[in-house]
Structure 1
Amino acid sequence: MSTVTTRTVAYPADGLTMIGHLALPAGDDRRPAVLVGPEGPGLNDFQRGRAESLAELGYVALAFDINGGRWFTDPGEMLARVTPLLADPDRMRDIGHAALDVLLAEPRTDPDRIAAVGYGTGGAIALELGRDGVDLRAIGTVNALTTGRPGEAARIRCPVWAGVGSEDPIMPPAQREAFTAEIEAAGVDWRLVVYGGALHAFHHPPVDQAVVPGVGYHPRHARRAWRDVVDLLDECVPVPG
């Protein structure tokens, strides 16, 4: 029987009512906390499960929403939503800050030990929180090697871990190089793991939606990427023994 408790949280952001999923570990003490950002299609049960898995490890975790409770099954609809969002750092930051406010309002959250982990669009939002100077202890991003406005990466105050598939056409080598050049020039403590043979969204099991070229699940690398995320958190925001 799981000792994790969960609840749905509704909150405003980006002109929408976001529907997040908060997962709490056993006990009543304050714990390190993690924002978990979803891929472009939105928040689904798999994403919610990530928050619950982190709660099982002892973290307060919020799987935050980016699409006002919607899960896009049509790639065209999804791109119409996230493409302008990804081009607007201020909108991404607003979504991230709204989720962060929800996490900080939870009494179990230790406000001095917060990390942000995101996938795709959610990863870009995690990075923008860092570029906005938020006092995070770690940022983990998978398939979101996005660059920011000039000079703002210098505001990132924590280690950054990034993962990407070697065959990801959305995050090709040129994008990887631009991202790593930006954060290296900013003096950020960073790591990049390239998972050989993996496509975009390699970490997400197949779902009932249209197949998009360049997107595909890689179970072995998905497990590895999750272990890498957990290792990052264990290093930077360890759960009290």
Structure 2
Amino acid sequence: MTTIATRTVAYPADGMTMIGHLALPAGTGRRPAVLVGPEGMGLTDVERRRADALAELGYVALAFDLHGGRVLTDPQDMLDRAMPLLADSGRMRGIGHAALDVLRAEPRTDPDRVAAIGYGTGGAIAVELGRAGTDLRAIATVNALNTGRPGEAARIRCPVWAGVGSEDPIMPAAQRDAFAAEMRAAGVDWRLVVYGGALHAFHHPPVDHATVPGVGHHPEHARRAWRDIVDLLAECLPLEPASAR
């Protein structure tokens, strides 16, 4: 296994001190980088491990925070914070840009080759960064197919990949259709993968606390969605051979 380095990073956003997880690949040169957004409950070891896996592939990766270092395991607490956030594109962009600034300031990062991926609330933030016209090479969102303000999707400057479970009651067929219509009208290079039989947060390992209704792990589709995201990054953020690093 490739040796990577990790550390926590503190930075201000949304009126609080966020605690992110930075993962650095082996070597000393600049590398393409990936911003990793968490589900609505906040940054957990699930996203930290995803950042580490990306670093093992050769990317600089920052798993960003949503709640000032807290993880909101109570479903109502999570909804009370996440729903107003999802309704406020300015706050979402602020959280995303603050983390992106940290990632781009990292000396190992090639600031001109950055992608944003995310799950749930973190995925909505990734897409919102695109709607803000942020310079990204790729965007991936799982479970979050929120639509934006009219016309703003035309600012998206990179391919967008979206994944959702066919049985997700939080992102039902009508929401999928609305997201697709927005991307299509804006002329975005987009794709949507619907994973048959999967619920909301199908990618997330089972948890030992209560969740909102409609959540369920689907191990096969979780692996497939991760491969799809890695393939998107390979297409849009290609890594040079190890001998060239």
TM norm. shorter chain > 0.5 = yes
Q: Which residue of 1 aligns with 2:74?
A: 74
Q: CA deviation at 1:102?
A: 0.3
Mapped partners of 2:72, 2:20: distance in 1: 16
Mapped partners of 1:111, 1:199: distance in 2: 35
Q: 1:181 to 1:120 in 2, by over 3 A?
A: same
Q: CA deviation at 1:208?
A: 2.0
Asked if 1:166 corresponds to 2:166, the answer is: yes
Q: Which residue of 2 aligns with 1:13?
A: 13
CA offsets per residue over residues 100-138 of structure 1, 9 Å max, x none?
000011001001110000000000000010000001000
Partner SS, residue 207 of structure 2: coil
Partner SS, residue 102 of structure 2: helix
Which contiguous aligned blocks of 4+ residues in structure 1 show a shift greater than 3 angstroms? none
Q: 1:89 to 1:211 in 2, by over 3 A?
A: closer
The alignment covers a number of residue pairs equal to 241
CA offsets per residue over residues 35-59 of structure 1, 9 Å max, x none?
0000000001111000000000000
Amino acid at match of 1:149: R
Q: Which residue of 1 aligns with 2:100?
A: 100
Amino acid at match of 1:86: L
Q: Does the CA contact (< 8 Å) of 1:135 and 1:157 recur in 2?
A: yes
Q: Does the CA contact (< 8 Å) of 2:4 and 2:24 recur in 1?
A: yes
Any gaps of 5 or more consecutive residues in structure 1? none
Q: Which residue of 2 aligns with 1:197?
A: 197
Partner SS, residue 205 of structure 2: coil
Partner SS, residue 223 of structure 2: helix
Mapped partners of 1:103, 1:211: distance in 2: 31
Q: CA deviation at 1:31?
A: 0.4
Q: CA deviation at 1:239?
A: 1.1
Equivalences for 1:32-71 in 2 at 5 Å? 32-71=32-71
Q: CA deviation at 1:2?
A: 4.8
Q: Which residue of 2 aligns with 1:113?
A: 113
Q: Which residue of 1 aligns with 2:137?
A: 137
Q: Does the CA contact (< 8 Å) of 1:73 and 1:208 recur in 2?
A: no
Mapped partners of 2:105, 2:37: distance in 1: 18
Q: Does the CA contact (< 8 Å) of 1:20 and 1:62 recur in 2?
A: yes
Mapped partners of 2:132, 2:240: distance in 1: 28
Output the aligned Cα RMSD.
Answer: 0.7
Amino acid at match of 2:198: A
Q: Does the CA contact (< 8 Å) of 2:166 and 2:196 recur in 1?
A: yes
Mapped partners of 1:45, 1:213: distance in 2: 22
Mapped partners of 1:2, 1:137: distance in 2: 25
Q: Which residue of 2 aligns with 1:240?
A: 240
Mapped partners of 1:209, 1:129: distance in 2: 31
Output the TM-score relative to the length of structure 2: 0.97
Mapped partners of 2:140, 2:221: distance in 1: 16
Q: Which residue of 1 aligns with 2:91?
A: 91
Q: 1:83 to 1:210 in 2, by over 3 A?
A: same
Mapped partners of 2:70, 2:64: distance in 1: 12
Q: CA deviation at 1:211?
A: 3.6
Q: CA deviation at 1:63?
A: 0.2
Output the TM-score relative to the length of structure 1: 0.99
Q: Which residue of 2 aligns with 1:183?
A: 183
Q: CA deviation at 1:213?
A: 1.9
Asked if 1:229 corresponds to 2:229, the answer is: yes
CA offsets per residue over residues 142-195 of structure 1, 9 Å max, x none?
001010011000000000000000000000000000001001100000000000
Q: CA deviation at 1:209?
A: 1.3
